[in-house]
Amino acid sequence: MTVFHFFNCAILTFGPHAVYYSATPLSEYDTLGTSIKAAVVYLITSLVKLVCLATFLNVSESDRFDPYQELLKALIGFIDVAGLYFALTQLTHRNISQNHKFQAVGLGWAFADSVLHRLAPLWVGARGLEFTWDYILQGLEANANLVLSISLAALGSLMWLRKNKPKTLIPIIYVCAGIVATMPSITSYLRLGLEWHLPKVVGFELFTSLVMAFISWQLYSACQRPSN
């Protein structure tokens, strides 16, 4: 019964990634290699992040929200953006269109994140006898994270790869990218600073991820138009 629950949570956490890959044209153009490279880049980035966090951050005894520490954490979080930049621009891919490239990178990125951050707790916790909503919420969080990763990759590809984009949209793109990149800090502020409960935080994440996805989609298609 509890292994059953583990499978449910695993499906919720990792299923959308697989569905996204198979449902979109990504599967038809065989972009798995790109995704895996992005995942490897994610692994390296998170290692660098770990080292930075360990070097610059004090271990806080309490769960209080410390603005200075959180600012530092947010700055270190921008290493993610650097990693994503590397994955989008420096990696030599087979010639796939920009359109598919950012999706593949975002997908690999989100999948690696889910595996790293959620698989172990899931394996340890969800198989136990005790039932909590935590693992289901965590799965939903993974979904939100997938949407956010792809949005960020889309915005990144707009920033770094697309040359002729409408001048008026550039600041909006940067602002959106900034918001998406600081999402982890925002949620941690909500959780620790405002002491929101997990369901509320996850709901917020899902909502903002959908909003950001919609905005980045609109931006992306707006940039697509003049080039056509």
Contact positions vs other proteins (CB under 8 A): 1, 4-5, 7-8, 11-12, 15-16, 19-25, 27, 30, 32-33, 36, 39-40, 43, 46-47, 50, 115-117, 119-121, 124-125, 128-132, 136
* Identity of the residue, 19 or 82, whose beta carbon is nearer to other proteins in the bound complex: 19
Q: Which long-range contacts (CB under 8 A, 24 or more apart) does 87-94 make?
A: 87/37, 87/38, 87/41, 87/42, 88/153, 88/156, 88/157, 88/160, 88/161, 89/160, 89/161, 91/34, 91/37, 91/38, 91/41, 93/33, 93/34, 93/37, 94/33, 94/34
* Identity of the residue, 143 or 179, whose beta carbon is nearer to other proteins in the bound complex: 143
* Identity of the residue, 74 or 119, whose beta carbon is nearer to other proteins in the bound complex: 119
* Identity of the residue, 21 or 179, whose beta carbon is nearer to other proteins in the bound complex: 21
Closest CA to 176 of 204, 143, 132, 208: 208
Q: What is the closest distance, in whole angstroms, from the C-beta atom of residue 168 to other proteins in the complex?
A: 26
Q: What is the closest distance, in whole angstroms, from the C-beta atom of residue 85 to other proteins in the complex?
A: 21
Q: What is the closest distance, in whole angstroms, from the C-beta atom of residue 227 to other proteins in the complex?
A: 19
Q: What is the closest distance, in whole angstroms, from the C-beta atom of residue 35 to other proteins in the complex?
A: 9
Tokens describing residue 155: 């915005």
* Identity of the residue, 97 or 170, whose beta carbon is nearer to other proteins in the bound complex: 97
* Identity of the residue, 75 or 116, whose beta carbon is nearer to other proteins in the bound complex: 116
97 phi/psi in degrees, rounded to 5? -70, 155
Q: Using CA atoms in the order 65, 66, 71, 72, what is the torsion angle rounded to 10 degrees? A: -120
Q: What is the closest distance, in whole angstroms, from the C-beta atom of residue 32 to other proteins in the complex?
A: 5
Interhelix angle 98-114/134-160, nearest 10 degrees: 150
Closest CA to 141 of 121, 157, 158: 121
Q: What is the closest distance, in whole angstroms, from the C-beta atom of residue 124 to other proteins in the complex?
A: 6
